[in-house]
Amino acid sequence: MRGLTSHRRLAAAPRRRQGLPISQRWLQLFFSALLVVLQHGTSIQFVTAACTPECTAGRSMCQDNVCWCKAPYSGPSCEHQVDVRTRVGRLVFVSILLFVTLVGMILGIITSGIASGGGSGMANYDLAAKKREFWTVAK
């Protein structure tokens, strides 16, 4: 039942029977179901009670006296439409924006330092000064 939600909690799990291991409880359940099939034949019909209050048509599905609401609806009979957009407060938004900007600036400074070879621009200028060109008159 993809896309369905319930306004009620699911029924509580049945109490654990004391004394029998779980494998024997499953066998007991299987054989009791088999006995019901053998006694009543193969045309067993499960009667499901109608939901109280009734489910809104087109918005939900009734199963086991529980209205299972489709995605944007909720409530006992799926009469309320829920706003599905995610909202973030202004303070949270501004805080995240400032944090991301600060991290971007720090990463930019680190990347710039790595790309320039780790030295300052003046060190590269001194190397260029040592490699002077000398012009002579052609003969």
pLDDT tens digit sequence for 71-101: 888 888 888 888 877 778 899 999 999 999 9
The confidence score (pLDDT) of residue 92 equals: 92
Say yes or no: 72 and 104 in one domain. no
User: Global pTM?
Assistant: 0.31
For residue 53, the enclosing domain spans 4-10+18-81
Say yes or no: 95 and 123 in one domain. yes
| Per-residue pLDDT at 70 exceeds 60 | yes
The confidence score (pLDDT) of residue 59 equals: 85
Q: Report the run of H or E that residue 60 belongs to, with start and end.
A: strand 60-63
Residue 30: inside a domain: yes
Q: Which two tokens stand for residue 93?
A: 């938004």
Residue 136: inside a domain: no
Share the mean pLDDT of the chain. Answer: 74
Name the residue with higher pLDDT: 15 or 50. Answer: 50
Say yes or no: 51 and 75 in one domain. yes
Say yes or no: 50 and 100 in one domain. no
The confidence score (pLDDT) of residue 79 equals: 86
Looking only at the bridges linking them, the beta strands covering 73-74 and 80-81 are: antiparallel
> Cβ of 70: how many Cβ atoms within 10 Å?
16
Q: Which two tokens stand for residue 103?
A: 């991290």
